[in-house]
Amino acid sequence: MFGWAMARHPNLVLTTCILASSLAFVDGSVTNVGLPAIGKALQAGGADLQWVINAYLLPLSALLLLGGAAGDRYGRKRLLIAGTLLFALASIACALAPNLTLLLVARGLQGTGAAILMPNSLAILGASFSGEARGRAIGIWASIGAVMSAIGPVLGGWLIDIAGWPSIFLINLPLALGAILLALFTVTDSRDNSRPALDIPGGILATLGLGLLTWGLTLGSGRDGWSILAVGGAAIGVLLMLGFVAVENRRGERAMMPLAMFGSSCFIGLSLLTLLLYGALGALMVLVPYVLIQASSYSGVEAGSALVPAAIILALGSPVMGRLAGRIGARLPLTMGPLVVAAGFLLFLRLGAQTNYWTTVLPAIVVISLGMVGAVAPLTNAVLGAVDARHTGSASGFNSAISRTGGLIATALLGGVLGASGKALISGFHLAALACAVGCAAASASAFFLITGPARK
């Protein structure tokens, strides 16, 4: 249990958690707007730009569960401050990077910092409030996260237009400084030394496996196609991921991903839905600003503003859908929501060079956002209800990690689009939108056929 500081300053604790997690929310969206400028400044091709995104997503996806377990064992406050400090230092390194190699290293450190601070931020928040106050605090945390995700690209586009791409990484510093100072004075540490030792072998295998799989997919989707190197990298990555599953099976309840969770067909269906739906969403977040800048000559601010309606619709609609799903069950909204998202991606097939935002881009974004409203809140509740009480923390963490893995894999497959220009860029975007629509339809099928029991109604 946390001490007197939390009890005395609960709103300051909430502010601390919001500032810390906002680093990941902002950076996850602002970098997408900077890809064209980074590519031009550092002479980076399509595959290189994929890694600007994936160098961040890879450690975040692979180490998220390990970061939460480390906080439980060694102290959540300590890990929150350490992760935030690492993120801030890595952001400075990104801004000062003279070449692509050092930028990618710094992005990897950012992802590691996010994997440490994110789960501990939410754990501190959950332990600081109870009952109705906890629901209100988490609602505020999620809403501000959506707002920060919306503001990030707009602010980033403005900074790129007036100061260049390095400035988008420096906006992290005030947030990090505020989070660290507040954490030092308002959060009392807690730890449980009796918890099992960290699953280091699992963390290493997950990172190496995802890394090689991503590398192979990036090469295969690029200009050279599926060479022996690309197929070999992806195959070794799959083998390492199978090794990760074997290690987790041997560790049992001490694993970072307890396999007992997958005894529920409902949890399997929800995991597939998350992977497919958030993979499509990740591709959207990368491609839309990029295509608007490269093919339609939008400024950074204009491209950054393009996705703002999505954040507004999600922030307003998710609480309503969460209450509705509590009455009717998760199966119907999780079946219909991804189908609506798929329809929105099909609307993007109308996008061409010099496209009009109001008649072409906005309708597609609105439809996709309405579909996501039908999925986001019911998905969170269904995941927690799909496993027994022992595994709710692991299930929530795994679902968060799998959503980022979806974005990681989707970005790895975008090399042909990011490396194209002119008509080829538009054609590649259309192909990607069609693939995303198919993925969303498959996500809907996962919900319809696999969600059973309490999550069904």
Q: How does pLDDT run across 78-91, given as a tens digit for each residue?
A: 889 999 999 999 99
pLDDT at 382 over 80: no
What is the rounded average pLDDT of the residues 334-351?
94
Residue 430 confidence (pLDDT): 94
The region of weakest confidence among 127-136, 150-159, 315-324, 344-353 is 127-136
| Residues 420-439: tens digit of each pLDDT | 888 889 999 999 999 999 99
Q: What is the structure's pLDDT at 296?
A: 87
Contact 36, 90 (CB under 8 A): no
445 Cβ neighbours under 8 A, 6+ residues apart: none
Stretch 259-272: mean pLDDT = 83
The mean pLDDT value for 341-353 works out to 93
pLDDT value at 11 more than 60: yes
Q: Report pLDDT for 97.
A: 92
Q: How confident is the model at residue 160 (pLDDT cuts 50, 70, 90)?
A: confident
> How far, in Å, CA of 219 to CA of 233, rounded?
9
Distance (Å, whole) CA 31 – CA 429: 19
**Helix axes 362-385 and 331-347, enclosed angle (nearest 10):** 160
Whole-angstrom CA distances from 354 to 289, 294, 357 are 13, 10, 9
Would you place residue 277 in the very low, low, confident or very high pLDDT band (cuts 50, 70, 90)? very high
Identify whether the C-beta of residue 1 lies closer than 8 Å to the C-beta of residue 122. no
11 vs 42: CA distance, rounded Å: 43
Tell me if 398 sits within 8 A of 257, measured CB to CB.
Answer: yes
Q: Among candidates 165, 212, 278, 245, which has minimal Cα distance to 58?
A: 212
Confidence of residue 6 (pLDDT cuts 50, 70, 90): very low
Which pLDDT belongs to residue 131? 63
